[in-house]
Amino acid sequence: MVQSYLRHGPTQAFGLICSVSSNAHYDGKFAYVPALEDVLVWDVKKGQMATMWHDTGHRAEVTCIQHSPQVGTFAVGYADGSIRLWNAGADTVVSTFNGHKKAVTALAFDRQGTRLASGSQDTDLILWDVVGEAGLFRLRGHRDQITGIRFLDAAESQPSSSISTQNMLLTSSKDTFLKLWDLVTQHCIQTVVAHRAEIWAFDMDEERDLIFTGSGEGELKAWKLDRDALSEGLKKTESGEVAKIISPFSSLPLSSKHRVSQISFHPTSPFLAVQSHDRTVELFRIRTVEEVRKKQARRKKRAKEKEEKGIMKGKERSVNEQEQDDDESLPIALTDLFTPHVVVRANGKIRSFSFGPNDSKANMQLLASLATNALEVYTIPPPSKSKESLPEASRLYSVDIPGHRTDVRALSLSSDDRVLASASNGSLKLWNLKTAACIRTMDCSYAICSTFLPGDRHLAVGTKSGEILVYDLSSSALVQTVKAHTGTVWSLQVRPDQHMLVSGSADKDVKFWEYERTEAASENAQSGKSLSLVHARTLKMQDDVLSVRYSPNGKLLAVALLDSTVKVFYQDTLKFFLSLYGHKLPVLSMDISHDSKLIVTCSADKNVKIWGLDFGDCHKSIFAHDESIMQVAFEHNTHYFWTVGKDKLLKYWDGDKFENIQKLEGHHSEVWALALSHYGNFVVTGSHDKSIRVWEKLDEPLFLEEERERELEAIYEAGMADTLNREEGAPIGLDGAPQTIQAEATGVAKQTPDTLMAGERIMEAVTLADEERAKFQEYDQSIERASKQDRIKLQPPPKNPILGAYDISPEAYVLSIVEKVPNSSLYDALLVLPFGKVVSLMVYLNIWAQEGWNIPLTSRIIFFLLKTFHHQVVAHRVMRTSLIPLRKHLRAALQQQKVVTTYNIAALRHIQRRQELDRTAQFYEEGLDEEEVRTRITEGKKRKRISLKA
């Protein structure tokens, strides 16, 4: 009988407010922030999470978030190169785009929200059709990661019908280049070497045609965009040089010399915000030309007054300076136009910021997502004329309670598995595991280990400074600070009989502590008895103690030392019993099974060893992880155990058969802590990525052979996709990368396991339909050849069970399979088809065109196949018999579509004219003058958008 296990699966992740992998977006009420592979939507006023955008089965980190001009639509880029369009109202994925090979680093929509441009670490720039859900083309030219993208839409003061302006794209990259692309010709028309260091951010002021770029050296430069040269195109000047569209203008001094990581103009107010790579965001107020002129006039007036009073130290002014003063058209410097307004100082390192709309008091809001797993919203006051009160940014909201500021270093569960305690450097938090809500937050120093004390009313925390902190959980108070050790407390455990606590430290001591009930000394603690620790005895060791463990029967005590050995002592007399020797690096954690027969140790040498406690023999040594193994623990009442390591993995093992049962991926950084349910129902892990994840035992059985096959299939599919994505005909270099000069503009294609599966499904459907049609065609031919008497005896062949179940024809079945392929993956799925299947598919395309079935999809497939397989189609004689009727039927179907579309457009225009006539008549009925009516009609009534939720 093959042994089966129960599968574990991820159920919830909490403790994360925002991660540092991506930027954040703020709309005045909700903050859309990255949380590793998810996007969290926070109500910053309430400090509560409104919803989570989670795509099941997708584990790549969020690297970029961009809001679309279309209401409620967001584009989210991921570390695996995919882009997902999310509907914020329904929390669902609208479409998925796959084209990049590395993480998406920049996204931008055009003004209508119909096109999306994406840049990546693979240096490629891709333009996507959002409506058609397809990639238009790929642009190559940058040599390093793309850091910013911007469509050059026409400013409101300029005619927006300029075709040249609407089809221009501006990109920046870490290769120090600023590139201007013409999307019509699909080529770069100007390259500007903007900085000596990498360009990390840029933004554009459309009203003044100024482009600001920020470098890694803390330099902020301004560039002038020449709209006239942009509209005329590439033309030579009188000197014979090509007119430059982007030209250098000036630079703006910053208070910080750190890397400029974000530049952003406020969408409605005259403000520019620049964030350097530290805790500050500098805001500049953009003055109008009138204000600058007034300032120049005041400066000139003061200079004249100083001259009259003789403060100029006898220097006479030249005639040229006087003429310059008299001239009203003095050149305006960039520092006059952009004046420092206020500096926002956050409580931690700022990862990104986002402007919110102005509130009722005309104060501007700014959201800062911090690298310390927190969100802060600041109010920016308007400029004041009084010089006495300088404007200061004040913090309005803060979201920081639902998560730790630093790594989660220790986890412990209460005896009833309802409360989880997590500790980090600076805070200790209690969580309700049922609701994943943070119910207590207490200050603590650098925590390394923790454990619940008997009764679950107190918690002991071992710190890096050698102290043991005892907390009263009901009152959230620190009731005792024990100066236990002179080195780091690496391990704490309560003795199985609940009467003693043992601690192991880097000062080479193992100390035993008894409990004592005392009067509550703290004011915050509840009145009555409080638990405290009293030192009972000490066990001196020869090296640093990294872990201590009692055997469940209470007879033995195991101590792991820095010299890579484990010493086992009798618990009562502390006499030496066994020495477990075999690890090459120190044992970081260990655990003893419920029957006290096995001890499992994990080490920095990436191995797990299983020992017998009777004689100290090593049963098995397993190479378990690719990095150091941080913690190990036995499951309740079994010989199954769990390990976590720096390779971001959680693994489940059988301690009797020495087999890996399951490998669980989910964390995005090294896993520090592990806590097991006392009833064997779930596992909790804490990581450097500041998230806490719960993995519950499911009812689904797991067989080791099937699990290994599934892992091999995943590796094979990933390898197949990588092979297909390799540039065709490109020689492979020593590093495995294709070595060739690539075209500047190419098509967009990327094979993924999903597209491979979709292509295989189409092939299976075509094969099934061909067999069915051939079978019935043979039956029809035999009917024609047979006599009348034989025809009665001939029975029709049985219908395919699949077609019989759906009760559809073979042609309709193939169409139904093709329609299920997402539009964004259709072309990649068709590339999987061999040419033989393309010939068969052409027959079905002809039938679909003849019947008028889904003509838009039929046309897309025909044009793509003819473009892709052009050489084979031309050389294949049989294709002529398929293409001639296909041309006839498709033209007829498209003509019918054209008639329907023309009729619909005419009907819509008629409805529009009727609506305008009714509105004009309504204005005249109100008794307005003719001029007022015309102005009201041209302005139009702006309708307020509201979102309705069920």
Per-residue pLDDT tens digits for 73-83: 999 999 999 99
Structure tokens at 235: 């033309």
pLDDT of residue 854: 85
Residue 513: φ, ψ to 5°: -125, 130
Using pLDDT thresholds of 50, 70 and 90, give the confidence band for residue 729.
Answer: very low
pLDDT at 310 over 70: no
Stretch 888-911: mean pLDDT, rounded?
90
Burial of 288 (0-12, 13-18, 19+ CB in 10 A): exposed
Residue with tokens 């220097």: 315
Q: What is d(CA 845, CA 865) in angstroms, rounded to the nearest whole number?
A: 11
Q: What are the tokens at 863?
A: 């044009």
Give Cα 669 to chain centroid, integer Å: 14
Beta carbons within 8 Å of 1's beta carbon, 6+ residues apart: none
pLDDT band at 253 (very low <50, low <70, confident <90, very high): confident
The phi, psi pair for 663, rounded to 5°, reads -115, 120
Residues with Cβ within 8 Å of residue 485, at least 6 apart in sequence? 466, 467, 503, 505, 506, 507, 509, 511
Q: Which two tokens stand for residue 642?
A: 């769990």
Confidence of residue 787 (pLDDT cuts 50, 70, 90): confident
pTM of the shown model: 0.84
Tell me how far apart the alpha carbons of residues 374 and 602 are, in angstroms, rounded to a whole number: 34
> Do residues 137 and 182 touch, judged by C-beta distance below 8 A?
no
Residue (of 282, 281, 285) closest to 270 by Cα position: 285
What's the chain's average pLDDT?
84
At 319 the pLDDT is 44
Structure confidence at residue 297 (pLDDT): 80
CB neighbour burial string for 746-774, b if at least 16 within 10 angstroms, e if fewer: eebbbbbebbbebbebbbebbebbbebbe
d(CA 456, CA 265): 53
For residue 946, the model assigns a pLDDT of: 40
Query: Which one, of 105, 116, 108, lies nearest residue 62 by Cα?
Result: 105
Residue 329 is given by DSSP the state -
**Residue 947 class from Cβ within 10 Å (0-12 exposed, 13-18 middle, 19+ buried)?**
exposed
What integer pLDDT is reported at residue 414 of this predicted model? 93
Q: Which of 150, 206, 207, 155 is nearest to 183 (CA)?
A: 150
Res 628 pLDDT > 90: yes
Residue 726: the pLDDT is 66
